Structure 1
Amino acid sequence: MSLFWRIFLLNAAMLVVAAVLLLGPVTVSTPVLPGEAFAVVAGLALMLVVSAVILRIGLAPLGRLNRAMATADLLRPGGRPPVTGPAEMAELIGTYHTMLDRLEHDRASSTALVLSAQEDERQRVAQELHDEVGQTLTAVLLQLKRVADRAPGELREEVSLAQEATRGSLDEIRRIARRLRPGVLDELGLTSALRALVAEFPDHDVSVRPRFTGAADTAPCLDHDTELVLYRVAQEALTNAARHARATHVVLELRRLPGRTELRVVDDGRGIADAPEGAGIRGMRERALLIGAELTVGPRPGAPGTEVLLCVREPLEESGR
């Protein structure tokens, strides 16, 4: 029954009962006697209480919907109000659910296009750094070697310094190219890519310890997009631990459990407290949504620091195989 008819019939019933009582045993004289005044006041109070209760019950789904709309976040699916209440309320909540489904689908589609374009651009830049800048610096190194062979003794040391600076720049260019597009991920898989990420982590003040358990130490059965998301989340989590959390020790763990694969990055930094999420964490959430994974970012259990946990669930047919 709709909310309109509920309220209308309730009020009509109470008015009918009041009319029957006034036409029957209940009478009001002039002047009003104390007993009659008490009966009228009590009846009025009862009508108001019953109206308040039915309105409270009928409008409760609207309050839940209002709270859900105020806290809705497309990067955090779930937490939707149940479809309950009168017909209009149930229809409104159902329409809200449909709208959220459409918005989440559109957000996921647009994010997938953006991230795909971003990965393509990273690959292009990495390729140009490796082919153009890398080859140019390699040619400069060869030229400097020839100059060093012919230079007099007093200039040979300066040429050697130039060689070392050029060689350092070439190594940095190659490292940046690998971070932009990790070729080892395509060639050797996720575990090897994470090992290389830890080995090449630029902040030497942070000790990063990798840990691979279960089948994760060999070759998890994950598609390329899932492996890329896991790699980027690990990369961003390590960067946040060094840049923002000021951590000194970080554990990067990849483990394969029945039906799911988990990536866990734990640091001993100052934690996130009540700080708002930045672009890095929101980027991790967007990537997690693309593959239907669950991302949790919060305080480290039982110790200071931050824990980033990404859980990738396998399809039923794969997990049950």
Structure 2
Amino acid sequence: MGASTHFSRAGIPDTWGMGRELSLPLFWRVCLINGGVIALGVLVLVLSPMTVSARPLWSEGVILSIGLLVSISLNGVLLRSVLGPLDRLTAVMATIDLRYPGRRLEEQGSGPARSLVRGFNAMLERLEVERSVSTARALHAQEAERQRIAQELHDEVGQSLTAVLLGLKRAIDDAPQETVAELDDVRDTTRATLEEVRRISQRLRPGVLADLGLLRSLYSLVGDLAARTGISVDRRFPPSLPELPPETELVIYRVAQEALTNVTRHARADNVDVELNGDVRGLVLRIADDGTGSESAAIGAGIQGMHERAQMVAGSLDVRPRDGGGTEVRLEVPIAGGRT
């Protein structure tokens, strides 16, 4: 016969045996401990040959004080074994942050406090799993919305601007000489706008990722950064990569994209190192700049988004000040069953 599963009064499976351990409420446990200590003291007084004079002597006062001290100490030791884990639980609860999973309280002692700690750890486990699932759904929805917007920019706005350029070309061919220069300026502005729309569409939906793969997409990303900003980029990529799931490729690409975007917006850097290496067990993406990185990088929406993406593929992200100045972003992604 298999192991039975107990249910609490609320109908929740009691897989940790909490219902059995909490059969006696904590209030009554404390009362019994205090009552036992007092009863022990009374029993000692009754059975011992010691008596108390009508006017207590100094020696009798010393003996009674020692007995009182022993009773208080014994009571404190017994209560500490029961209530001590509650203090640790309170301290941990004040520091829990579901953005950084894995924090657990050590299960020590016995009795209801231990059961409470065990239940608290189980609750954290469930919350972290639920948050991971909800974050993954939100990020998938975000990617789908990005693709929809990128498609509309390409199909609607891009085609409209292309039609405007064709119309301007015809207008320039038929226009008088005095208005040609003005129409040329309008055409140049429209062409620049069309290029910007295409660039935004490319950032929203990395089509090259599906068409050309991760390595070529990263080459395109860092090449675009160098061309637009003039920042010197030192890129070190392997000649080939292990076979990666599409979700892992997307996470690596998006983290690199966000890190390089932060470099252009905030770092005021002159040089950026972009490195990707690893083996069939995992990949490491490292992006380091020589900009104005602070000693404690603030956790903004961009960095938090990178953390959440890394957790989607069981990876880890570390953002730290770089030796000599600047900021270093390091993403480590495990690969399950990958092959070269």
TM-score using structure 1 length: 0.87
Partners of 1:254 and 1:261 within 8 A in 2: yes
Deviation of 1:180 after TM superposition, in Å, equals 0.5
Q: How does 1:82-93 map to 2 (within 5 A)?
A: 82-93=106-117
Cα shift readout 1:262-312 (whole Å, capped 9, x = no counterpart): 122222333354565221122122212221111222322x33322222211
CA RMSD in angstroms comes to 2.7
* Alignment-derived partner of residue 292 in structure 1: 314
Q: State the alpha-carbon separation in 2 of the partners of residues 231 and 99 from structure 1.
A: 33
Q: State the alpha-carbon separation in 1 of the partners of residues 232 and 77 from structure 2.
A: 61
Deviation of 1:24 after TM superposition, in Å, equals 1.9
> Given the superposition, is the C-alpha separation of residues 42 and 203 from structure 1 closer, same or farther in structure 2, using an over 3 Å criterion?
farther
* Alignment-derived partner of residue 289 in structure 2: 267
* Alignment-derived partner of residue 85 in structure 2: 61
Partners of 2:37 and 2:74 within 8 A in 1: no
Q: Does 1:310 align with 2:335?
A: no
Q: Which residue identity does 2:234 align to in structure 1?
A: R
Report the secondary structure of 2:203's partner residue: helix
Deviation of 1:261 after TM superposition, in Å, equals 1.0
- Range that drifts further, 78-87 or 10-19: 10-19
Aligned counterpart for 1:124 among listed residues 145, 148, 154: 148
Deviation of 1:176 after TM superposition, in Å, equals 0.7
Q: State the alpha-carbon separation in 2 of the partners of residues 245 and 132 from structure 1.
A: 35
Q: State the alpha-carbon separation in 2 of the partners of residues 40 and 270 from structure 1.
A: 70
Q: Which residue identity does 2:246 align to in structure 1?
A: H
- Range that drifts further, 219-228 or 252-261: 252-261
Unaligned runs of 5+ in 1: none
- Range that drifts further, 142-151 or 31-40: 142-151
Q: State the alpha-carbon separation in 1 of the partners of residues 35 and 318 from structure 2.
A: 50
Report the secondary structure of 1:244's partner residue: helix
* Alignment-derived partner of residue 234 in structure 2: 209
> Given the superposition, is the C-alpha separation of residues 139 and 234 from structure 1 closer, same or farther in structure 2, using an over 3 Å criterion?
same
> Given the superposition, is the C-alpha separation of residues 27 and 217 from structure 1 closer, same or farther in structure 2, using an over 3 Å criterion?
farther
Aligned counterpart for 1:190 among listed residues 214, 223, 239: 214
Unaligned runs of 5+ in 2: 1-20
Q: Does 1:224 align with 2:229?
A: no
* Alignment-derived partner of residue 74 in structure 1: 98
> Given the superposition, is the C-alpha separation of residues 135 and 141 from structure 1 closer, same or farther in structure 2, using an over 3 Å criterion?
same
Report the secondary structure of 2:94's partner residue: helix
Cα shift readout 1:37-92 (whole Å, capped 9, x = no counterpart): 11111121122223223333433321222122111111111121022222312221
> Given the superposition, is the C-alpha separation of residues 30 and 116 from structure 1 closer, same or farther in structure 2, using an over 3 Å criterion?
same
Partners of 1:198 and 1:209 within 8 A in 2: no
Partners of 2:277 and 2:285 within 8 A in 1: yes
Report the secondary structure of 2:229's partner residue: coil
> Given the superposition, is the C-alpha separation of residues 242 and 61 from structure 1 closer, same or farther in structure 2, using an over 3 Å criterion?
farther
> Given the superposition, is the C-alpha separation of residues 318 and 184 from structure 1 closer, same or farther in structure 2, using an over 3 Å criterion?
closer
Deviation of 1:172 after TM superposition, in Å, equals 1.0
Q: Does 1:45 align with 2:66?
A: no
Q: Does 1:179 align with 2:203?
A: yes
Deviation of 1:7 after TM superposition, in Å, equals 7.6
Deviation of 1:115 after TM superposition, in Å, equals 1.5
Q: State the alpha-carbon separation in 1 of the partners of residues 182 and 208 from structure 2.
A: 36
* Alignment-derived partner of residue 260 in structure 2: 238
Deviation of 1:9 after TM superposition, in Å, equals 4.8
Q: How does 1:272-287 map to 2 (within 5 A)?
A: 272-274=294-296, 276-287=298-309
Percentage of identical aligned residues = 46
TM-score using structure 2 length: 0.82
Q: Which residue identity does 1:175 align to in structure 2?
A: R
> Given the superposition, is the C-alpha separation of residues 247 and 67 from structure 1 closer, same or farther in structure 2, using an over 3 Å criterion?
farther
Deviation of 1:258 after TM superposition, in Å, equals 5.7
* Alignment-derived partner of residue 253 in structure 1: 275
Q: Does 1:97 align with 2:124?
A: no
Deviation of 1:193 after TM superposition, in Å, equals 1.2
Deviation of 1:183 after TM superposition, in Å, equals 0.7
